[in-house]
């Protein structure tokens, strides 16, 4: 495999970011069994400085921590998915504005999720996740709020909602990212030659057939009721009735 030629003077963090982007270096936990098991974090990992390598979307980044590249999922928030136009891209742009590649951050590590990502609050002069909620670029992830300052996060979300900022420009807020992901999973459950197929497309022919059968049945029933009633000739009664 040919490695990209890198300038000798390029900082180590930027070299690692280039390798990550090129797919020549994988963050810890991707396709590997090393590192802490999901849900377990050592005390030494709980709070360590790190260097930003790249920014994925509105709630995920890659960092270099202790000489190891890590994928980080920002704790206690859930930003819109990239496909949630335009809010997903706006959330990513906001996170990129707040963090710079090569910049120093501190991670308040909480756990490692089932995808191998380190779940942590990211601190860079301020709590970045909390700031994302305050600016209206992320929701509070109530399902995973126990290890954060719940009152601070919920109060920030209320302020963003009252201002109608970002995701709150729509009355009541846009579709929650966790609901959007569930809809994506349930709406595209079948694949043909790698092309997603909507479940409704599969059921539509069956619905049409049942509707045709029902109309035919109703037509037959109507024809039977509209048949002329046979005439009955009543003979005049005799003297005996």
pLDDT at 48: 87
Q: Provide the pLDDT for residue 106.
A: 97
Predicted local confidence at residue 207, as pLDDT: 62
Q: Which residues are catalytic?
A: 73, 81, 117
pLDDT at 22: 40
pLDDT tens for the chain, residues 1 to 241: 444 444 445 455 554 444 444 443 434 333 333 333 344 444 444 688 999 999 999 999 999 999 999 999 999 999 999 999 999 999 999 999 999 999 999 999 999 999 999 999 999 999 999 999 999 999 999 999 999 999 999 999 999 999 999 999 999 999 999 999 999 998 864 443 344 444 555 556 666 777 777 777 666 655 554 555 444 444 444 444 3
At 14 the pLDDT is: 52
* pLDDT in the model for residue 11: 55
Instruction: Convert the chain into a string of H (helix), E (strand) and C (coil).
Output: CCCCCCCCCCCHHHHHHHHHHHCCCCCECCCCCCCCCCCCCCHHHCEEEEEEEEEEECCEEEEEECCEEEEEEECCEECCCCCCCCHHHHHHHHHHHHCCCCCEEEEEEEEECCCCCEEEEEECCCEHHHHHHHCCCCEECHHHCCCCCHHHHHHHHHHHHHHCCHHHCCCCCCCCHHHHHHHHHHHCCEEECCEEECHHHHHHHHHHHHHHHHHHHHHHHHHHHCCCCCCCCCCCCCCCC
Predicted confidence at residue 107, as pLDDT, reads 97
Task: Give all domains of the chain, ordered by start, each with its CATH number.
Answer: 12-179 (2.40.50.90), 188-221 (no CATH)
Q: What is the pLDDT of residue 24?
A: 38
């Amino acid at each position: 495999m040919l490695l990209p030629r890198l300038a000798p003077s390029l900082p180590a963090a930027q070299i690692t970011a280039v390798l990550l982007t090129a797919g020549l270096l994988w963050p810890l936990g991707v396709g590997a069994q090393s590192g802490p098991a999901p849900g377990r974090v050592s005390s030494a990992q709980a709070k360590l400085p790190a260097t930003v390598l790249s920014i994925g979307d509105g709630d995920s980044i890659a960092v270099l921590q202790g000489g190891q590249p890590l994928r980080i999922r920002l704790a206690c928030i859930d930003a819109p998915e990239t496909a949630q136009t335009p809010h997903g891209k706006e959330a990513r742009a906001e996170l990129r504005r707040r963090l710079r590649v090569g910049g120093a951050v501190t991670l308040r590590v909480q756990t490692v999720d089932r995808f191998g990502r380190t779940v942590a609050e990211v601190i860079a002069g301020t709590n970045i996740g909390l700031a994302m909620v305050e600016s209206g670029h992320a929701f509070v992830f109530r399902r995973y709020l126990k290890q954060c300052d719940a009152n601070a996060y919920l109060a920030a979300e209320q302020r963003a909602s009252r201002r109608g900022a970002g995701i709150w420009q729509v009355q009541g807020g846009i579709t929650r990212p966790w609901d959007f992901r569930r809809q994506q999973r349930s709406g595209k459950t079948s694949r043909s030659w790698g092309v997603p197929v909507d479940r409704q497309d599969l059921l539509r022919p069956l619905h049409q057939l049942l509707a045709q059968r029902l109309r035919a049945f109703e037509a037959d029933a109507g024809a039977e009721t509209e048949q002329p009633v046979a005439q009955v000739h009543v003979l005049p009664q005799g003297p005996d009735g």
